[in-house]
Structure 1
Amino acid sequence: MGRQIHGIVLILLSICEVWMCYQVLYRTVLEKEHLRKWQKVLIWGNILGAGIILGINRKLLFFSITMFVFVISITLFCAWIVERKNMLIKIEIIILYYTILALLDFFCGFISMEMIGKQFWEEIYKFSQSMVQCALFLIPRAGVALLLAKWEENGLVLKGDRKKLALLCAMFLGLLRIYWVIMMNMAIDARKAQGWGAAVSMVFVSVLTAGVFMFFHRFQLLKTENKMLLEMEILSENHMKDMKIMMEKNRIQTHDMKHHLLILREYGQEKQWDSLMSYLNELSDDILVQKKTVWTQVGILDTLLEQKKTKAESKGIEVRVQADRIVGLPFSDMEICTLFSNLLDNAIEACEKIEDDRRWVAIQITRKSGMLYLTISNSIKDRPAEQEGKLITNKQNHQLHGYGIKSVQKIVRKYEGDFSYQIRESEFIVTITFWRLEERNEI
């Protein structure tokens, strides 16, 4: 009876192991919601079939390199049949998952070796009937299950991560090979059993390997982030140039309008109606239609607000602007463009997702003494997802997302301000406070 229970537990643990591998794939590259019925049947066939074979094999041998390769291969084959895109990433994720789990098994095995000594071969490693072996396999899988429970669904592994994952796979496969040989030699007495030493060295080497990987990964992220921020600054500079061109155009039109009015008045006094109408038709639509509202008396900012307001209203989004008259701001023109363009573009994009008439953006700019308060709020369709106090994007291009807000926060930090946001039932609010701003004269 004990042998049967031992075998059943091993099979159940192995089935759970293969099932968790697919949970990792669902959270990275495999689109679970788009799976058809036959694909789900195939996956469950893989989970049950591979799990049963793996569980039976573990009753015979604690770790088999042949079975290790077989389970990885059959899982890869099923994943390829189910969905053939992103296969290189799938290969790396599956290999990394089973390798890390095997290393955790070795760690628990080394500790048990220290406790039970020479009985490790009979009770754990080969032809085992001991429930201790089941406990050793249970501990790593329980840990992985807890991690999966805290892992948000709908994650994404970008194609740019392939080289990093391949490097990590190679490093951990090398560790697996080394410690597999060490365990076999200790189990058959070809090498003195030193379970604690092997376990400690495994932790040290694994942490060191992961640490080196994370260091270079972080370095690469910072390099990419700096590159993207530089590109955002270039875009903001181009936007600023466009704003200055519009401002100059407005100045020219205002100056020319005086001459146009004199000519039109002359035609009217002389009752030359045909000439008057002809002259009106020759005037640019920009002069007749374009309006320039002064909100803050900061030229570049008023022009930008007018442009974004026009853009939003063309899409059926109501824009409300409430602003104090500001003599000057310490920001450069590029910083003004970066700050307001990113915030307003995000607000407009959020409103575009709403299908009914609840589409609005509210802008409030308040200046009191040396302090400046900016509040930009907008209606939202659904509450944005958050993780550790940060917003999680639902955009397809995750790599580019977030750098606009980072550019805004960079300016806020430069002028020792505070950046915060609130999410209400159907409203998203960004608040920025600058506590001490020295004015610069507007030109």
Structure 2
Amino acid sequence: MLACCALTAFVSGAVSAWCLALLVHSAHAFLPWLHCAATAQPACAARHRPLPEGSETPAQSFFFNFILNLKRDGLKGGLGSVVPELAVYYVISWLLIYFIAFKRIYSYSKLVLFKDVLTYFVLLVCMLGATRLSGAAAMFNECDWSVLLDGTQIWRDALEYSLVQMSISQGVLVMLGSYCPKAPHRLATTALLTFLVAKTSCMGSALLLGAAHGALRTDYDNDTNVWSGSSSSIILWADYVARIPGSQFWSALVFFTLFVLSVSTTALMLQTIMSTFTGRSIRKISWAFLVAICVLFCFIGVMTICTQGGLYILNFLISWPVSKVRAPIAAVVALVISYTYGQTTFCDEIYFAVGEYPCMFMRISWALTPLLLFVALTGVGSLSTFEATAGFVSLGLCLVAIPIFVIFYFVFRCRVRNIVDDAK
């Protein structure tokens, strides 16, 4: 769980730097990605013209060339040099993350309320604006809906994501992070609203970005050449705000919202990491651990993510150890707490922490998620590529703590039992 939270914080911290960079560039007299730069390599194609093979849209060209200074040959020759501007934004993001985490969980609930209200407002306004885009419905009309019936993978992925949100693992952490202890008897409502917010905001964002992609395809009358991966949504958001009146204002608002979301997510992951340092001997100096963790994340991030090849590292982390490790961790945690440690004891500890017992819906969800998650995890991918091999190795490194802990637990338990029997 600690490894999963560390990787998630690492990734979301990098996204914070991207959003902050675009937020700053939104203050220009006109958005710098409205038009193509003459020095862009590869070539940038203006709107309403055919998009040549290998060329890029203005938003994609600006993001890759001027925000990331991206290497186009992958990781051949290493990560490249550090991008100074991106490194500065990354450090600023982690400074804000530190101050949020320093205030601890009871102030975080206020930030959660602010970011949720802001997110829904921006999504609602942007979805209304998307209906006025020329070609916004193209992606939905041309979409191959048969993939919903051709296989089970898409349904397994959806089930896995939903179950992780409802499990004792990160789902409960997000829910408790949203809980305000000054409003008693709201734990069940908080859990339900947290689940609904996660689902509706993701669905709304997907529909909105699909509409933006449809408008982009209509402009160029062919494929958009937008890369898949973590950068695609940022590029589509940038392209969307460039199409509507008052583009500077809406660009600043959209990227400020994305910045708040990524920073708050990172802060919650950081608080989860810090929750392990609660021993009596180090509780008084936990601030030193928090400073050390933030400095360590900044140093590693600047040396990797903020380089010219950082996007490739980020895409790998999101595709493998960040996303694929959550489901097995959630399954194991739910299984152990529900059927070994005991739900009653766990609920007593939640009552001791927040003054309220979890509702029956939450307890049923925790009891059912292990079996359903293990069903969703059936089927192992291929090791045919180097990336897949490295991905499975990274998954193994993240999950190796589970069997090691189980072995030590049973060895210790058997040893204590033998000592007790000898004493008798």
- TM-score interval, smaller chain: under 0.3
Bigger relative contact order, structure 1 or 2, given CA contacts below 8 A and separation 6+? 2
Q: Going by fraction, where is strand more abundant, 1 or 2? A: 1
TM-score by length of 2: 0.22
Structure 1 or 2, whichever has the larger Rg, is 1
Q: Going by fraction, where is helix more abundant, 1 or 2? A: 2
TM-score by length of 1: 0.21
